[in-house]
Amino acid sequence: MRKLFSLLGLLFTLTLIGQENEKSLVLHLKISDVIDPRTNRYSELGLEKAKELDADYVILELDTYGGALNDADDIRTRILNFDRPIYTFINKDAASAGALISIACDSIYMAPGSSIGAATVVTQDGAAAPDKYQSYMRSIMRSTAEAKGRNPRMAEAMVDEDIDLDSIATEGKILTLSTSEAIKYGFCEAEVSGIEEIMKRSGVDDYEITEFKLGATEKIISLFLNPFVSGILILIIVGGIYFELQTPGVGFPILASIIAIILYFVPNYLNGLAENWEILMFVVGIILIALEVFVIPGFGVAGVLGLICTIGSLVLVMLNNDMFDFSFVGGDQLFISFATVIAGLLGAIIVMFFGGARLLNSNVFKRIALQDVQDTEQGYTSTFYKEKSMIGLKGKTYTRLRPSGKIEVDGVIFDAFTRGNFIDEGVEIEIISDEGTSLKVKEVK
């Protein structure tokens, strides 16, 4: 029994020693760019990694002049709902959306010479956004400050220039705090030079810092967001559909087109740019174009709407718009998006006209496509009507020809088509060719 107690005592002692030697895990996230869908996804993946590693602390290093309000709000909400301490280290600037994200964290530390504030919502050209956006920004700044025990009135003053805080912020000026001012008014715990100082001030001596970096998959996704790569994908999408229509049944052109569609839409979707309605718009556009080509002869309303939907969706997917609200989409972004899509389409047209013939006659293509020709000298015929020639026979259109449809000759219904013109129902026609499975006709004047 004595040995048993000794053994249990030893195990308990070893457990205590192991707990004492266990290091705290600190996950380091770093945002040093504009707040947009990419940084939004980066923060989401980073906090997911913190949960996966069971990190004890998260340090979010910020150096940003702000960005998209909707993405900043997503990051703010994510931070507020996180169940472990998150400290912000403002390494120079936390303006606008950066200020909102900082206030959402449990503690704020600032490097010498840093600043926080200036959270007025502005459009891409620098002008103040409509009041509905300012009102929303004021409310979430206020509620976030209240949730973290900071002065909500000062948080509002970072957005609204009409708030007068006596000597802190005079009316007509947006509140921006330096490091010393932020410490004085409770928006910063201390001035520090690095993460080590933050942990020391937090009373954590034994810790291990892990810097969060995007994995290979996320880097590949970022690659496909490059406008140049997007233009190439558009070229493959259009070119693949064209070559599949030129050589039905081959398969690989349409497969290449489908893969390009996936690589175009999925990265934008994962980064919060492509919305469900934009993808649906693309699908509807393709369906309308297919109906125009295969069901409704000619080129009419369906074809035009199909092109508008298809091209429009390719452009919109690259823009961070809110249901056609482009208040926070800059002119440069619109230009890049339009230029990328147009360049891809022009590239596809050039490939179709100048490279199509070479591709169809290449050795690689001949290996996968049928090359045999069924010549008439070998006994093959393209005439479906073998018993007698029907050229010169007359009849009436059974349906409207636009330019294809059905005709009636001697009480028998046949498939027929015109030379491109439309012929109404019940009009007298004459057969001018009977090669193939349909008769070529013209109207008898």
> Would you list the domain boundaries of the chain?
19-213, 217-274+317-368, 376-443
Strands (E), 304-445: 394-397, 404-409, 412-417, 428-433, 439-443
Q: What is the mean pLDDT of residues 203-228?
A: 84
How wide is the angle at C-alpha 269 spanned by C-alphas 263 and 273, nearest 5°? 120
Q: Please give the DSSP secondary-structure letter assigned to residue 194.
A: S
- Domain 19-213 carries which CATH code? 3.90.226.10
- Domain 376-443 carries which CATH code? 2.40.50.140
Q: Percentage of residues in the chain with pLDDT exceeding 70?
A: 81
> What gap in Å lies between CA 302 and CA 282, rounded to an integer?
14
Tell me which residue of 444, 443, 391 sits closest to 419, measured CA to CA. Answer: 443
Q: What is the mean pLDDT of residues 95-123?
A: 92
Model pLDDT for residues 139-175, shown as the tens digit of each residue = 999 999 999 999 999 999 999 888 877 767 666 688 9
* Chain centroid to CA 384: 51
16 three-state secondary structure: helix
More confident residue, 12 or 214: 214
Q: Is the dihedral of CA 410, 411, 416, 419 positive or negative?
A: positive
Q: Which amino acid would we find at residue 400?
A: R
- Judged against a pLDDT cut of 60, whether residue 349 lies above it is answered with yes
- Judged against a pLDDT cut of 50, whether residue 14 lies above it is answered with no
> What gap in Å lies between CA 298 and CA 404, rounded to an integer?
10
Q: What is the mean pLDDT of residues 62-82?
A: 91
> What gap in Å lies between CA 117 and CA 100, rounded to an integer?
8
pLDDT at 18: 47
| Dihedral in degrees, nearest 10, Cα atoms 130, 133, 134, 135 | 120
pLDDT at 375: 54
- Judged against a pLDDT cut of 80, whether residue 396 lies above it is answered with yes
407 three-state secondary structure: strand
Q: Please give the DSSP secondary-structure letter assigned to residue 378.
A: G
Q: Any idea which of 45-49, 74-78, 372-376, 435-439 has the lowest mean pLDDT?
A: 372-376
Other CB atoms within 10 Å distance of the CB of residue 90: 27
Name residue, tokens 């005439």: 383
> What gap in Å lies between CA 242 and CA 348, rounded to an integer?
9
**Dihedral pair phi/psi, residue 279, rounded to 5°:** -65, -40
How far is the CA of 56 from the CAs of 146, 397, 426, 434, in angstroms?
24, 81, 83, 82
Q: What is the mean pLDDT of residues 60-77?
A: 90
Name residue, tokens 């192991």: 18
pLDDT at 20: 46
> What gap in Å lies between CA 307 and CA 281, rounded to an integer?
11
Angle between helices 131-147 and 97-104 (to 10 degrees): 20
pLDDT at 303: 81
Question: H-helix or E-strand containing 70?
Answer: helix 69-80
